[in-house]
A and B are shown apart, each in its own frame.
Chain A
């Protein structure tokens, strides 16, 4: 990273010395701007949190009573003479790219993002800058997302087929973001829709923050009769646990960008894998880099070595950064620890 730039990578995370704040720090660090509510970005132990109002609500739900300050999209806040503005990242409700500028120097920290609208999150907007710090969870050309409508239609079709055969459907998706995206895409004429406790609690939080959500009942209120042909949305950590026994007979599905690969589908040991990601695919990543107009690209997590090399081959100045962000995870053992507090 450039010497004496507005943003530096410290051992605790991305740091702006002039403004004296961190962005998504992974250890207790001080004042923090948070891009979104996922647990590898919004971590416990900061003295103050600045984020979009929806993210503030999510943090209060996940982290307890923390000191938050809300900032709406596209309103510049001056911190120690540094201008801070949040722009929609399209990742999950409340997710933001953080623009930081002073003088002629403009930085954008993407957090996690996707460029296509999902009907739930505030749609991504490109932000021009000199320095673009981007994720690249799916930074290889094998990743190409089908239009969301097609994926949701195949989820509904799968649910319908199961219901006809007298089977319950259990779909695993992150409790924050993916679960609601699927919920809003389900066809309620097929059957009843239930949520795992973690999903229901998150729905309430988001609903209170003003996010529009379709109806979803708590699973613990379901009778045996209610469950017939129903679909249950559950966090990935619930897969392979005895919690599922009460849904017998059932089929399982997993919704994630990783499901684009047969190897990962087989690893999950779910009956079906739907390719649905809240991250940018290859084309979107390239689009974002291009439309930022940045001279310098820094890559934080994902296939950053390959993506950096590719950008360099296209004549860009691209660098890898060593961060502790995880993006969309395939490995549930680490996720289980994080979800345990929810």
Chain B
């Protein structure tokens, strides 16, 4: 079994009095697509900067592909491809010129440079637009090109810091698919940070980050299935506030609320569902349909955010 691609031990970065990254422990297996899911300001970008050696850690340690980020940042960057939140493209230059610049930076020989640029652009159907000024392109196309730029030197590790944050839903989906295909074809380890649980659900493993700390980690299925509450959407009539209070008072109910004439109940286990239906019917409500759903990672993520928001001290 190959050693992990990324290991961090109690990695911390403090800006003034604020801990942007707070005692983070990570272990990213080689060849995996690993997601770091967290809201804006969670410390994801600072974590990426720490791993790339762009900022030094205040305390703790990190190794990428066996290299220490404090002492061997150059070796790490030489083996890594990076896409940051902004595509970071030279907008006055064409797609080929942008890729050619980075191919030269990585000292690719001239013949290999041309072949690699052609291969990458053709793969995402941008070859026809290779000589167009990148500034005239759509945001989605720019992000695609930024990912190609990160892959131009065939890195062992790809780091993507919210690569789809500024895209609309359709472009996000296309780009995520392209990225997954490219990553598996190229056989690289991928670390992707995101605010979108759906995007994180595509990863092999996910760490949920909040206020600089990793609060949960594991495979997306296990995070969603084991920890997320099951939701029951009950449609019908007669859902009064009194009945809502009754449902909310049950110990096996996490939360119940009325949304658009539907009673939405978050239950601890699926077994609770039948008991609630009985309670509603016995109380005189008319239940017409019951839909059980498990939003998995998304539900877990939102629950974590809400819990942390509720416990936030009032200044």
Judge: A and B partners, yes or no: no
